[in-house]
Amino acid sequence: MRIISHRTVVICSGLFACTLMVYLALMVLSSDIQESQRRYAHNTITLNQTVIYDSLQALDDLEKLDINDCSETSLTKMRQTVYLSSFIRDVGLLQNDLLVCTSVGGVLAEPVTLDKPSFTSALGYDIWLNQQLVIFDFLHSGVVIRRGNFNVVIDSSTFAPLEYGDNQWELVSNRTSKDVHLAGTQGIYKDTNSPIYEEVTDNYHYFHRCSENFDFCIALSLYNYTLFKNKTWFLVISILFSLAFGVLASIFSETLFKRHNSNSSRIRRGLRKQYFYYQIQPLVDLKTKRVIGGEVLARFKDPLGELYPDQFIHEISALKLSWPFTLLMIKNALSDLQASGAIQKDCKISFNIFPNDVENNNISELKHLPEVKNFSGNITLEITEDLKLDSLVAIENINNVIKQGFEVAIDDFGTGYSNLAQLKSFRCQYLKIDKSFVFDLEAGSIRSSLVPHMVDIAHKSDLKVIAEGIENIMQSKVLEDLGVEYGQGWMFGKPMSVEKFIEAYQRTNKPDEGSSPKPL
């Protein structure tokens, strides 16, 4: 499996977070535009409907007032209409399609013929847009609405957009099959046969809405590039914020990555996902050179690579995972060895036990394990040197497992708390001389001169001696001559797979080859 590099993950997560934030900022901006377009359109439709409704109401009322001429009474009534309306600026009376008088101008000197209306509504009124009208001597741009014998004049600005921001807009009448441009920028409105229509593309935001009661629509369109022009501050802040977020994401992913790749995380995962495995280092009878058993040693390999025992043993202890870890080693090794069918009654398989699991008596559980019950050989527990062997609880727990049939070896003897005087407290079977003493044998150091003394005391305490770290014949010979019973070391074999161990065990235990073992 290819492992993605640390740097790649950190850079990618930073870029991803930055892009995501820019995307979110654009989404926020886009939804803000859509929202404002909807609001603008709604306001326009509402206002225009109100104006037209008010105008039609005024025209209806005028019809009911029975005004047939341009008398002062009629003009007063027409003026009252102007006064009562919020939008109407002027009211005109028509006779035979000619405008004869208005509320502002009074009786016209010449009746005025009206042009063709801009459009005729289905609701029975005509409308003239953008008419240039003189009212009270002022020129106005007005919208004229006519129904029956009256027309009303409304300021064009009343219909003009309220507030459209950067949008381009168009007001159309959709009464006929062909839409009629009323105001704004011609060509904005898209005829979609839909009263409400929204479209967002890479280039623009478009929205139109048609009146439910009257026949006109307002269309709004905003080109996205105008945003970059007009909302530069927003975009700059968004980009700066996105960059900052990207950097934070990188730092966060780096922290996660480090945590994920830390030894403690790898160890926890390793226990769940079976990244731990074991190897067995042969234990040899120094006289006959037969393999009489082996020490089970843990190994670790996950997709990130290997960890060495020196890297994980202390960490396992610190994580308080020593017992599940030891159980895993014991169960796996014993079931594999038993499954091979090669293990004889006197085969000694040893396991390293954490001091903590001795002190809190986890070791008492071992006898209940099916793998232990079914195992046909001997199980030795190696109690590591950093256990305080003078602890009464530890001594009692060790003696209890010995009573249950396990053998116990004092490991790394000479390097830690353990000392010769304490040996008598135990009924253990083996003393394992630490490899550092064996390495020194050739040099004849003061340290190595302790070895005969250790062997002597061990034998006086009824313990058999195992020397570890034997790498050559000279060391093996010296130890054999000192009366050391068993040896372990690279000379006899490095830690190996269970298959190779079984093969070495069977080969050196064949009755005819036992006296001349081959190096492993």
Alpha helices in 381-517 (DSSP H): 392-403, 435-439, 450-460, 473-481, 498-508
Measured between alpha carbons, how far is 317 from 357 in angstroms, rounded to an integer? Answer: 10
Place of tokens 């780096």: 254
Q: Which is nearer to ligand LFPHGCPZ, 81 or 350 (CB)?
A: 350
Residues 493-512 contacting ligand LFPHGCPZ, CB under 6 A: 495
Binding of residue 142 to ligand LFPHGCPZ (CB under 6 A): no
Binding of residue 332 to ligand LFPHGCPZ (CB under 6 A): no
Binding of residue 277 to ligand LFPHGCPZ (CB under 6 A): no
Residue 36, SS3?
helix
Binding of residue 435 to ligand LFPHGCPZ (CB under 6 A): yes
DSSP state of 143: E
Q: Which is nearer to ligand LFPHGCPZ, 59 or 297 (CB)?
A: 297
Closest contact distance (angstroms) between CB of 1 and ligand LFPHGCPZ is 25
Residues 284-303 contacting ligand LFPHGCPZ, CB under 6 A: 295, 297-298
Closest contact distance (angstroms) between CB of 366 and ligand LFPHGCPZ is 14
Closest contact distance (angstroms) between CB of 464 and ligand LFPHGCPZ is 15
Count of residues for the chain?
520
Sign of CA dihedral 470, 471, 472, 473: positive
Judge residue 462's burial from the number of C-beta atoms within 10 Å of its C-beta, 0-12 exposed, 13-18 middle, 19 or more buried.
exposed
* SS3 assignment for 258-324: HHHHCHHHHHHHHHHHCCEEEEEEEEEECCCCCEEEEEEEEEEEECCEEECHHHHHHHHHHCCCHHH
Closest contact distance (angstroms) between CB of 452 and ligand LFPHGCPZ is 20
Measured between alpha carbons, how far is 92 from 105 in angstroms, rounded to an integer? Answer: 9
Query: In this chain, which of 126, 191, 386, 471 binds ligand LFPHGCPZ, going by CB under 6 A?
Result: 471
Quick one: tokens of 434?
Answer: 């630490």
Closest contact distance (angstroms) between CB of 415 and ligand LFPHGCPZ is 9
Query: In this chain, which of 407, 412, 440, 485 binds ligand LFPHGCPZ, going by CB under 6 A?
Result: 412
Closest contact distance (angstroms) between CB of 23 and ligand LFPHGCPZ is 51
Number of residues that bind ligand LFPHGCPZ (CB under 6 A): 21
Place of tokens 């010296």: 478
N- to C-terminal Cα separation, the chain: 33
Judge residue 7's burial from the number of C-beta atoms within 10 Å of its C-beta, 0-12 exposed, 13-18 middle, 19 or more buried.
exposed
Closest contact distance (angstroms) between CB of 13 and ligand LFPHGCPZ is 36
Binding of residue 309 to ligand LFPHGCPZ (CB under 6 A): yes
Strands 378-383 and 348-353, sheet pairing: parallel
Closest contact distance (angstroms) between CB of 385 and ligand LFPHGCPZ is 8
Binding of residue 416 to ligand LFPHGCPZ (CB under 6 A): no
Q: How many CB atoms lie within 10 A of CB 314?
A: 11
Query: In this chain, which of 270, 293, 469, 517 binds ligand LFPHGCPZ, going by CB under 6 A?
Result: 469
Q: Which is nearer to ligand LFPHGCPZ, 125 or 276 (CB)?
A: 276
Could you list the residues that contact ligand LFPHGCPZ (CB under 6 A)?
281, 295, 297-298, 309-310, 313, 329, 352, 354, 411-412, 435, 468-471, 488-490, 495
